[in-house]
Structure 1
Amino acid sequence: MDLTSKTAVVTGASGGIGAAFSQALINKGATVYGLARSADKLGQRQQELGDQFVPVTLDITDHESIDRWIQQTFDDDLLPDVLINNAGLGRFGDVDSLPLEDWEAMINTNLSGIFYMCRQVVPLMKDNENSCHIINIASIAGKVSNPQMSGYNASKFGVRGFSEALFQELRYDGIKVTCFYPGSIQTDFFSDANNSESHANMMQPGDVAGVLINVLETPDNFLINDITMRPLNPKHPTEQ
């Protein structure tokens, strides 16, 4: 795909790898509709990225709001070419102590939100004459389980299954589906999720965004349907 003048939708665009994805897409000439719940953070991203970044304050767990925004934004003259389902959160703890609201937040954001976005965007992509691409951001936790991560694992394993089914469902409509399984990335995710410290030996958001661009720019009849990435040495620098 030639990303010049393409239209991309990125969820969780206010920070972390979502902001890095938005920057990388804009650098390639795309217009990015950046979705997130924080209007203030989205405004900061627009100041940094310019007019090619269109901020959209939206909660992806609210399917009615998604439906309204899609209907108000897209039509026959403006169709999405790329959808990056990146928004996600983690809440960790033993299964017998994990608060019910934490389980529901992870399932609703990490899994249901992807479905809500796809069910509205896929029909528009089917109407698009160009090749289109959906990228779902899962996690290495969608392949490998760990204690105190049952809810997070369940949501990300769900993204894995959904992505595999979606790829097979849409491949003959000219719509690519790729699932990313990243390991640790140096963002605020870990401090927000369980008060652990991010560090420089984690993958860098810009490097993950570089992989995203490489996957998007493959020839139209060439598909990488899943990709796993990890830091080679994941240890904290003080542990060397």
Structure 2
Amino acid sequence: MDLNEKVAIVTGASAGIGAATVKALLNLGMKVVGFARRKELIESLVENHNGKLFARCIDMTKPQEVLDGFDWVTKNVGPIHVLINNAGIARYASILSGNFEVWKRIMDTNFMSVAIGCKEAVKIMREHKIDGYIININSVHGYYDCLDSNLIMYTSSKSALRIMTENVRLELAKIGSNIRITSLAPGLVKTDIVESGYGKDKSDAMYDRLPFIFAEDIAKTIVYLLSTPPRMNISEMLVRPTGEIGTKISPM
């Protein structure tokens, strides 16, 4: 896929994997639109972007804002070629003692917003005859249970995302579409998601005791996926820190 001057949307673009991905895609010559609530952080990511970086203030838990965001991109930047569904949150949320509003925010951010993004991206790509690429940023928690009841809603959202991504791939194949889709599942990545969800002390303690990778490592993996030939769809990819012991990834 020739990505120069093509349009990409990156959700959760203000920090972490999203921010690193924005920079990586700009380096490929793409026009990149970042979706996040903290629009000013997206705008400050790169100083000299040659007019190719666009920031939209969007709450991914609000479907109409997401739909309006895609519509704005098509009308003002161009039809989308690449979608990186990166927005996600992690919070304590057990079933027996959890808070319904927290449950809903986790599922709306980690699953529903991705489903809406996939639907809109495919619609736009097909309307404009674009064989595009969708990458859903998942987690190794989507592939195994970390056995922490406090993380059950997070784990459930990521498991659902894994299943949904594969079913979108099947739907695309059945209609003869060449749009590709990948579930990219990192292990522990050093970003602010742990601190924002569980506090600085637990974040520091977890990164002190566990191996981790960096957001830039995942951004480079995304660039690799986009570089693969159109005949090839890597439908699932797990990227773990060397030495990771799966069931131990937990802030507890």
TM-score (norm 2): 0.87
Rounded Cα–Cα distance in structure 2 between residues aligned with 1:48 and 1:11: 21
Q: How far apart, CA to CA, are the structure 2 residues paired with 1:39 and 1:71?
A: 18
C-alpha distance in structure 2 between counterparts of 1:97 and 1:50, whole Å: 50
Task: Report percent identity of matched pairs.
Answer: 29
Supply the AA of the counterpart residue of 1:191: E
Contact 2:194 2:203 in 1 (8 A): yes
Separation in 2 of the partners of 1:47 and 1:166?
37
- Asked whether the 8 Å contact 1:138–1:181 carries over to 2, the reply is yes
Matched, 1:219 2:221: no
Per the alignment, residue 182 of structure 1 pairs with 186
Specify the SS of the correspondent of 1:174: coil
1:43 deviates by: 2.6
- Report whether the alignment pairs 1:34 with 2:34: yes
Aligned partners of 1:83 and 1:134 also within 8 Å: yes
Note the aligned Cα RMSD (angstroms). Answer: 2.0
Aligned to 2:98: 98
Distance in 2 between residues matched to 1:130 and 1:206, nearest whole Å: 27
Q: Following TM superposition, by how much is the alpha carbon of 1:70 offset from its aligned partner in structure 2, in angstroms?
A: 2.4
1:37-78 per-position Cα deviation (integer Å, ceiling 9, x unaligned): 112322322547563211011112211122223233315992
8 Å CA contact 1:92, 1:193 repeated in 2: yes
Relative distance call for 1:51 and 1:126 in structure 2 (3 A) is same
Deviation at 1:86, TM superposition (A): 0.3
Partners of 1:202 and 1:145 in 2: CA distance: 19
Corresponding position: 1:149 with 2:151: yes
In the TM superposition, what are the counterparts of 1:68-79 in structure 2 within 5 Å?
A: 68-75=68-75, 78-79=78-79
Q: Separation in 2 of the partners of 1:162 and 1:228? A: 16
**How far apart in 2 are the matches of 1:93 and 1:100?**
9
Match of 1:206 in 2: 216
Distance across 2 between alignment mates of 1:203 and 1:105: 26
Q: Could you tell me whether the CA contact under 8 Å between 1:60 and 1:116 is conserved in 2?
A: no
Which ranges of structure 2 fall in alignment gaps of 5 or more residues? 246-252
For 1:69 and 1:77, the matched residues in 2 are separated by: 11
Moved more, 123-132 or 53-62: 123-132
Q: What CA distance in whole angstroms lies between the structure 2 residues aligned with 1:40 and 1:160?
A: 31
Give the number of equivalent residue pairs.
235
Change (3 A) 1:69 1:222: same
1:197 equivalent in structure 2: 203
Structure 1 residue 167 displacement after superposition: 0.7
Shift of 1:220: 0.8
Tell me, in whole angstroms, the C-alpha distance in 1 between the residues paired with 2:55 and 2:76.
22
- The separation in 2 between residues aligned to 1:18 and 1:50, in whole angstroms, is 20
SS at 1:197's partner residue? helix
Question: Deviation at 1:22?
Answer: 0.7
Q: Is the 8 A contact 1:23 1:49 kept in 2?
A: no
Q: CA deviation at 1:130?
A: 3.7
Seen in structure 2, the aligned counterparts of structure 1 residues 183 and 50 have a Cα distance that, compared at 3 Å, is: farther
Residues of 2 paired with 1:155 and 1:8: CA distance?
24
Alpha-carbon offset, residue 21 of structure 1: 0.7
1:161–1:68 distance in 2 versus 1, CA, 3 Å: same
Letter in 2 for 1:106: I
TM-score normalised by structure 1 residue count:
0.91
Q: Of 152, 159, 172, which aligns to 1:170? A: 172
**Runs of at least 5 residues in structure 1 that lack an aligned partner in the other structure:** 236-240
- SS of the counterpart of 1:74? helix
Conservation of the 8 A alpha-carbon contact between 1:81 and 1:128: no
Deviation readout 1:68-111 (Å, 9 max, x if unpaired): 23233315992100000000001124432222211111001000
